[in-house]
């Protein structure tokens, strides 16, 4: 894990400012990375559903027939989010204990001030039969993303130079470290799924920018790379990890 600030409050404030600025442009449409994650999550979405770090409510807008409680610290993002919605940090969720059957935390743990407290809060609001659907960015990177980062900053991306090549994240995860953190917070990983391998990141980091330059819009090509990634998944490096968890039996 990298770029960990000693003061969780400083992280919370920094991330809130970043996302207030990001969401000020209005809600966005699903990108390739979102489509890949949502295709993975869809079969697990059982009400009551809570999405923590919901941003501008993309999950709730993508699955409008489901009642999804969206939680985010950015009130700017919540403006375009369907009800129900609530402004809060992940470290202090204003939700009663044992409420949720599905908790979604997609690409959010790396933005939190206190990741273990956030995971413990997710555990507190979970029913005994709940699932936590979690994804985080990892390190080392898939080769195409690493090459793009190296070209941008002039050296290979590492944990030490994270602020230069990935300034929006407070940390990236080693898979074993993430699983240990989940275990300490009361979660058992039932599925561990590598995401964004060589094919996907080549399309995401190289192919899609080319389409944007040529046509003035991004064509979501990378979602089709996920099928190719699965062919050689065990031999590949991946830039993200998805984990499906159950509450640890007490």
Q: Which residues share a beta bridge with 241?
A: 136, 194
C-alpha dist (Å) from residue 243 to 12, 38, 191, 197:
24, 13, 6, 16
Assigned domain for 223 exists: no
Determine the structural domain holding residue 183 and report its residue range. Answer: 8-139+173-195+237-247
Per-residue pLDDT tens listing for the chain (250 residues): 544 445 777 877 777 777 777 767 666 778 899 999 999 999 999 999 999 999 999 999 999 999 999 999 989 989 889 999 999 999 999 999 999 999 999 999 999 989 999 999 999 999 999 999 999 999 999 999 999 999 999 999 999 999 999 998 999 999 999 999 999 999 999 999 999 999 999 999 999 999 999 998 888 899 899 888 888 877 899 999 999 999 998 6
Domain count across the chain: 1
Residue 4's pLDDT is 45
Assigned domain for 222 exists: no
Assigned domain for 60 exists: yes
CA proximity to 69, closest of 159, 78, 44? 78
Letter string b/e over residues 122-145, b meaning 16 or more CB atoms within 10 A of that residue's CB:
bbbbbbeebbbbbbbbbbbbbebb
Residue 65's pLDDT is 97
Assigned domain for 200 exists: no
Assigned domain for 164 exists: no
Assigned domain for 72 exists: yes
Residue 26's pLDDT is 66
Helices 175-184 and 115-125 meet at what angle, rounded to 10? Answer: 50
Residue 250's pLDDT is 67
**What is the rounded distance in angstroms from the CA atom of residue 240 to the CA atom of residue 172?**
9
**What is the rounded distance in angstroms from the CA atom of residue 177 to the CA atom of residue 142?**
18
Instruction: Assign residue 117 the CATH number of its domain.
Output: 3.40.50.150
Assigned domain for 151 exists: no
Please provide the size of the chain in residues: 250
**Residue 56, token pair as written in the block:** 């501008």
Report pTM. Answer: 0.91
65 phi/psi in degrees, rounded to 5: -80, -10
């Amino acid at each position: 894990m990298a770029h960990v600030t000693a003061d969780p409050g400083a992280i919370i404030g920094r991330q809130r400012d970043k996302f207030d600025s990001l969401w000020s442009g209005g809600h966005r449409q699903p990108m390739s990375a979102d489509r890949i994650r949502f295709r993975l999550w869809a079969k697990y979405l059982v009400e009551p559903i809570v999405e923590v770090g919901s941003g501008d409510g993309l999950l709730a807008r993508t699955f409008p027939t489901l009642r999804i409680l969206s939680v985010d610290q950015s009130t700017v993002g919540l403006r375009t989010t369907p009800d129900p919605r609530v402004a809060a940090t992940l470290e202090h969720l204003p939700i009663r204990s044992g409420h949720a059957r599905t908790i979604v935390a997609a690409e959010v743990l790396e933005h939190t001030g206190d990741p273990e407290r956030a995971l413990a809060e997710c555990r507190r609001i979970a029913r005994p039969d709940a699932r936590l659907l979690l994804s985080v960015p990892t390190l080392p990177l898939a080769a195409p993303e690493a090459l793009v980062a190296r070209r941008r900053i002039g050296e290979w991306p590492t944990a030490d130079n994270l602020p230069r090549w990935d300034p929006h994240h407070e940390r990236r995860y080693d898979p074993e470290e993430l699983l240990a953190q989940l275990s300490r917070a009361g979660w058992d990983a039932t599925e561990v799924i590598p995401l964004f391998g060589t094919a996907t990141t080549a399309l995401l980091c190289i192919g899609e920018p080319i389409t944007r330059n040529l046509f003035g819009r991004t064509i979501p090509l990378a979602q089709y790379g996920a099928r190719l990634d699965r062919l050689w998944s065990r031999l590949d490096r991946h830039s993200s990890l998805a984990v499906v968890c159950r509450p640890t039996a007490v």
